[in-house]
Amino acid sequence: MILRHTKAVRMIHWSIALSIFLLFFSGFGQMPLYKRYMLTDIVPWTGDYWLTLYLHYLGAVVLMTAVGWHAVFHGIRKETGLLPRSGDLQESVQIIKAMITGGKEPPSDKYLAEQRLAYAYIAFTVGLLIVTGVVKVIKNLGFNLNDSLLFWSTQMHNLGSVLLLFGIIAHLAAFIPAANRKLLPSMFHGKVDEEYVKHRHSIWYKRLKKGT
């Protein structure tokens, strides 16, 4: 087995994942969807506006802390493997085509091209949500802000939420193809099978063998 994700990386990943889940759950409670669909009849506290608001703030604090930790941690270590590269879109098409047809995939590094593109998409939507969310919090604290700024911040926050939800669904759906399933356990224990790395991540494998 080869270590793919360190304990720190897994902690950052799950902190972000769980905080986003809490944000979605509490955010939907603000609408309020739970009363409309009678969830409050089963779990009464889901209809408490102030409780869901404070849970939303808690999720936001955890998310921003985890994102900041992620940026500093990988920045200091100069780990840029997840950043998009030139040709990633074309390479992603080739990989997806190979998975569908059973053909040969192009040689890949530690992260597949579509994983780098997915990272950029998620990073953009999370960044959008953080910026617009901060504006909404400033307004809730009683500061007078421009009406146009508040309007567009709300619209962009809602749009970002929808985009992030679609991104998460696509992220989870990526594990449906058999070729990707061996990567899923690594988010829990950090390791992947060496033969899998050798054949699917040959560029990374060669670098590991050289000790670089």
Distance CA 77, CA 9 (A): 12
Question: What pLDDT, on a 0 to 100 scale, did the predictor assign at position 212?
Answer: 56
pTM for this model (two decimals): 0.87
Structure tokens at 196: 């899998």
DSSP string, 143-188: ----HHHHHHHHHHHHHHHHHHHHHHHHHHHTTSSHHHHTTTTHHH
Note whether 113 and 91 are within 8 A (CB).
yes
Output the tens digit of pLDDT for each of the chain's 212 residues: 889 999 999 999 999 999 999 999 999 888 878 888 888 889 888 888 899 999 999 999 999 999 999 999 999 999 888 999 999 999 999 888 888 887 888 888 999 999 999 999 999 999 999 999 999 999 888 888 888 999 999 999 999 999 999 999 999 988 888 888 888 899 999 999 998 998 889 899 898 888 75
C-alpha separations of 22 from 99, 120, 184 in Å: 34, 22, 22
Distance CA 156, CA 167 (A): 16
